[in-house]
């Protein structure tokens, strides 16, 4: 297909020069360009395909960027980026130095609000509406929210607030009946009930033109209720209109124009869309091509690199299934991420013991606490970045009551193409300060199997185990998980002079660094702490006592594992003994998307950085220590496993 119209649109003001009758053609060209682009870059596709017409119509009717357009989650923003001065760079999306896969305020004035975590648009939009009103400005605020994102608690908190404020705010509910998986929950059932027939533009206009004043609105709501068709949104004080076909530009344009005229308060347009719209392989796939690798446009076949080892996610899910076969009290919880957490496999085997609670991490955690309070063994599988949402629930509902909720923390550390919004940087820090928690980090996939078994066995307090995104390192998997001794690490390789104490997935880089240093005649001890909490103080003190240098490394922000080690060393007085101590943590800045290897290099957490650090530490040794021999006693040394390089 040629892209004649699309080529004429660099920015929305170009778009607004087009005739209304040309918008259909523009949308077709945009959709085609989107498919071609994502086929070469990979990324989020289905959601963008579902909002092509909405994107065109919104930029046509509203005066963006003066009018603020806010995309919830914003994984559907690719067509928006292509119409807002970024089409020439769209082929760089999600790559190092390229466009972000999400809206980002620093990237463009058209990105009114940055996002990537769900359910924030209404709160941000209401804040902007208040700012506008206080400054006596007149622009519009438009929030586009998916039905999945509408299942998150913040969306209700915002509607509750917006309904009471009565300020001008335009909400487009983009209802495609999908989250990443099919949408779940009572709200989804409710939307299915009210999404019956599509209204024409004229019908929506008469809906809007109906009684406007608040009092009359109330009586209209009563009348509607009596007719059995009041909506939850009306009752919350938001004017509900629709549903309309969200792919019909001829309906969308006049309807959006009339929303612009509505001055009585918040108004919500219910638009029905199809995730993956207009691309057959996407429309017919179970996840409607939510997130894809590069693919062949003709067949839709995704080109995934061959896996060298099973993913951590899969190892976690299989281990939990294995445990659940023996223990009927094990249940699993996900907040709208059944495939991302691997729990879809658990659900297949135990349909009654897996709970997808929607995009509702806070609820997921307290729900798990309730299960634990009744003696069940809940595993809440939540990405590190999304667990941030539920921090008070972790503290107040789980930790203070010492309830044995097990947190399976996926995507711990840097995550590649999703960038800073999805990095799992903080969990070691925010969990490490909570009394009573057991916190483990898997150095490889075999360790993860044992950590799942350990978490099953910890039945008197909360526990968490973290593991990185992507494939394991290729070690053989044990036949079955065996609970680890709580709070005990292991020495993986013995050396002299310098010791590296690693927590989690950087262990293989430490071993590679040790190999390199050994080539230069420097024998390095490498230990795997396994537990960030309780800390293996015996191991820490021994490493400190028997080496002249001690380096800790973790894939987490400042304040995590290394802080616990430093505290231990400081309290023991060993810091005054001439010991050279350093820590390697994620740098104190947000790291944009890139290939994982490049991100580790930027973060200074790769083999080369470790080698540099150790050499630097040794060069800082006081002369007396340089000749100090190591006095390592071989305890708890484990044979080194074969690692896939």
Ligand X SMILES: Cc1ncc(C[n+]2csc(CCOP(=O)(O)OP(=O)(O)O)c2C)c(N)n1
Q: Do 94 and 172 meet the contact criterion of CB atoms below 8 Å apart? A: no
d(CA 266, CA 243): 16
Least distance from C-beta 364 to ligand X, angstroms? 10
**3-class secondary-structure state, position 98:** coil
Q: Does 176 bind ligand X (CB under 6 A)?
A: yes
Using the rule CB under 6 A, is 172 a contact of ligand X? no
Applying CB under 6 A, among 289, 386, 407, 600 the residue interacting with ligand X is: 386
390 in contact with ligand X (CB under 6 A): no
Report 424-483 residues binding ligand X (CB under 6 A).
none
Judged by beta carbon, residue 362 or residue 552, the one nearer ligand X is 362
Q: Beta strand pairing status for 549-554 and 531-533?
A: unpaired
589 part of the active site:
no
Which entry of 31, 87, 353, 389 is annotated as an active-site residue? 389
Give the binding-site size for ligand X (rule: CB under 6 A).
23
* Residue 374 known to be catalytic: no
Sign of CA dihedral 6, 7, 13, 16: negative
469 part of the active site: no
- Contact call for residue 336 and ligand X (CB under 6 A): yes
| Cβ at position 36, least distance to ligand X in Å | 20
Q: How far apart are CB 152 and ligand X at their closest, in Å? A: 6
Q: Is 179 in the site for ligand X (CB under 6 A)?
A: yes
Query: Least distance (Å) from ligand X to the CB of residue 216?
Result: 33
CA distance 14 to 539: 66
Q: Is cis: bond before 284, omega within 30 of 0? A: no
Q: How many CB atoms lie within 10 A of CB 193?
A: 9
Stretch that binds ligand X, among 114-122, 128-136, 621-629, 632-640 (CB under 6 A): 114-122
Residue 31 in the binding site for ligand X (CB under 6 A): no
CA 439/CA 464 separation, integer angstroms: 5
The region of 23-31, 111-119, 258-266, 562-570 touching ligand X under the rule CB under 6 A is 111-119
Q: Write down the residue that tokens 């928006």 correspond to.
A: 80
Q: Which of 31, 132, 272, 275 is catalytic?
A: 275
- Closest distance between ligand X and the C-beta of residue 275, in Å? 5
Comparing CB distances to ligand X, the nearer of 73 and 330 is: 73
Q: Which two tokens mark 541?
A: 């003190």
Phi (first) and psi of residue 359, to 5 degrees = -75, 80
Write down the least CB distance from residue 291 to ligand X, Å: 8
Cβ atoms 343, 334 nearer than 8 A: yes
| 3-class SS letters over 540-576 | HHHHHHHCCEEEEEECCCCCCHHHHHHHHHHHHCHHH
Indicate which single residue of 86, 389, 469, 547 sits in contact with ligand X (rule: CB under 6 A): 389
Binding window for ligand X (CB under 6 A); candidates: 56-64, 70-78, 309-317, 369-377? 70-78
Q: Nearer to ligand X by C-beta: 34 or 118?
A: 118
Sequence-distant contacts of 365-371: CB under 8 A, at least 24 apart: 365/390, 365/393, 365/394, 365/397, 365/398, 365/405, 366/390, 366/393, 366/397, 367/333, 368/333, 368/398, 368/405, 369/393, 369/397, 369/398, 369/401, 369/403, 369/405, 371/331, 371/333, 371/405
Of 174-182, 344-352, 445-453, 487-495, which segment contacts ligand X by CB under 6 A?
174-182
**What is the side-by-side strand order in the sheet with 266-272?**
68-71, 141-146, 169-175, 266-272, 239-245
Among residues 32, 347, 361, 555, the one annotated as catalytic is 361
Q: By CB under 6 A, which span of 77-85, 113-121, 548-556, 599-607 interacts with ligand X?
A: 113-121
Answer yes or no whether residue 180 interacts with ligand X by CB under 6 A: yes
CB atoms within 10 A of CB 352: 7
Residues 316, 410 contacting (CB under 8 angstroms): yes
Q: Which of residues 339-378 bind ligand X (CB under 6 A)?
A: 359, 361
DSSP category for residue 486: T
Smaller CB distance to ligand X: residue 176 or 552? 176
Considering beta carbons, is residue 46 or 481 the nearer one to ligand X?
46
Smallest distance, ligand X to C-beta of residue 205, A = 27
Locate the DSSP E strands across 53-187.
68-71, 141-146, 169-175
Which residue in the block uniquely carries the two structure tokens 């690692």? 643
Interactions with ligand X, residue window 73-92 (CB under 6 A):
73, 75-76
Closest contact distance (angstroms) between CB of 234 and ligand X is: 21
**Range 116-155, binding ligand X (CB under 6 A):** 116-118, 146-149
Question: Sign (positive/negative) of CA torsion 331, 332, 336, 342?
Answer: negative
Which one of residues 94, 140, 168, 275 is an interface residue with ligand X (CB under 6 A)?
A: 275
178 contacts ligand X (rule: CB under 6 A): yes
Min separation Cβ 115 and ligand X, Å: 8
355 vs 386 by CB, closer to ligand X: 386
User: In the numeric block, which tokens belong to residue 509?
Assistant: 């880089």
**Residue 57 vs residues 20, 39, 49, 101, 568: alpha-carbon distances, Å:** 9, 25, 14, 22, 60
Least separation in angstroms between residue 31's CB and ligand X is 15
Residue number, 60 or 386, with CB nearest to ligand X: 386
Stretch that binds ligand X, among 11-19, 78-86, 171-179, 573-581 (CB under 6 A): 171-179
Which residues are known catalytic residues? 275, 361, 389
Q: What residues make contact with ligand X under the rule CB under 6 A?
A: 47, 50, 73, 75-76, 116-118, 146-149, 176, 178-180, 275, 335-336, 359, 361, 386, 389
């Amino acid at each position: 297909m040629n892209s004649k119209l699309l080529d004429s649109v660099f920015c929305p003001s170009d778009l607004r020069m087009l005739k209304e009758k040309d918008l259909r053609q523009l949308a077709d060209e945009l959709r085609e360009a989107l498919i071609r682009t994502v086929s070469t870059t990979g990324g989020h596709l289905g959601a963008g395909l579902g909002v092509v017409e909405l994107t065109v119509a919104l930029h046509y009717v509203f005066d963006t960027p003066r009018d603020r357009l806010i995309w919830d989650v914003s994984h559907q923003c690719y067509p928006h980026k292509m119409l807002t001065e970024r089409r020439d760079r769209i082929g760089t999306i999600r790559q190092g130095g390229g466009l972000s896969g999400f809206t980002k305020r620093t990237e463009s004035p058209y990105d009114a609000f940055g996002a990537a975590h769900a359910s924030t648009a209404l709160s941000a939009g209401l804040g902007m509406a208040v700012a506008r009103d206080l400054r006596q400005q007149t622009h519009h605020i438009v929030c586009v929210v998916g039905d999945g994102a509408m299942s998150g608690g913040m969306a209700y908190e915002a509607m509750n607030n917006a309904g009471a404020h009565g300020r001008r705010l335009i909400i487009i509910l983009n209802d495609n009946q999908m989250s990443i998986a099919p949408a779940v929950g009572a709200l989804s059932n409710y939307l299915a009930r009210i999404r019956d027939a599509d209204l024409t533009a004229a019908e929506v206009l008469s809906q809007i033109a109906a009684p406007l004043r608040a009092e009359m609105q109330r009586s209209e709501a009563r009348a509607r209720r009596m007719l059995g068709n009041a909506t939850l949104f009306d009752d919350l004080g938001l004017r509900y209109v629709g549903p309309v076909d969200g792919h019909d530009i001829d309906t969308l344009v006049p309807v959006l124009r009339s929303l612009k005229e509505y001055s009585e308060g918040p108004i919500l347009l219910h638009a029905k869309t199809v995730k993956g719209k207009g691309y057959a392989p996407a429309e017919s796939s179970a996840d409607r091509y939510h997130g894809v690798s590069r693919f062949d446009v003709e067949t839709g076949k995704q080109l995934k690199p061959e896996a060298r080892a099973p993913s951590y996610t899969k190892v976690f899910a299989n281990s939990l299934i294995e445990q659940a076969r023996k223990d009927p009290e094990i249940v699993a919880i996900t907040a709208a991420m059944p495939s991302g957490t691997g729990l879809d496999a658990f659900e297949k085997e135990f349909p009654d013991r897996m709970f997808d609670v929607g995009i509702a991490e806070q609820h997921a955690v307290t729900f798990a606490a309730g299960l634990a309070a009744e003696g069940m063994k809940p595993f809440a599988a939540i990405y590190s970045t999304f667990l941030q949402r539920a921090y008070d629930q972790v503290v107040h509902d789980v930790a203070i009551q010492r309830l044995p909720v097990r947190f399976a923390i996926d995507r711990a550390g840097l995550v590649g193409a999703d960038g800073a919004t999805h990095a799992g940087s903080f969990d070691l820090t925010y969990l490490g300060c909570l009394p009573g928690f057991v916190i483990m980090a898997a150095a490889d996939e075999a360790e993860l199997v044992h950590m799942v078994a350990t978490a099953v066995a910890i039945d008197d307090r909360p526990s968490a185990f973290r593991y990185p995104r992507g494939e394991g390192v290729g070690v053989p998997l044990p036949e079955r998980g065996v609970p680890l001794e709580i709070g005990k690490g292991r020495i993986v390789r013995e050396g002299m002079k310098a010791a590296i104490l690693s927590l989690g997935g950087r262990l293989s880089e430490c071993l590679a660094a040790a190999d390199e240093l050994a080539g230069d005649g420097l024998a390095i001890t490498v230990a795997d702490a396994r537990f960030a909490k309780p800390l293996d103080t015996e191991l820490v003190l021994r490493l400190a006592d028997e080496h002249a240098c001690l380096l800790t490394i973790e894939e987490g922000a400042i304040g995590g594992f290394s802080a616990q080690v430093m505290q231990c060393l400081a309290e023991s007085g060993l810091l005054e003994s001439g010991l050279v101590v350093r820590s390697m943590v994620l740098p104190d800045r947000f790291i944009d998307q890139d290939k994982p290897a490049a991100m580790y290099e930027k973060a200074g957490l790769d083999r080369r950085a470790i080698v540099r650090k150790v050499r630097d530490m040794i060069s800082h040794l006081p002369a007396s220590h340089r000749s100090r021999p190591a006095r390592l006693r071989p305890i708890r040394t484990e044979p080194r496993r074969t690692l896939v390089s």
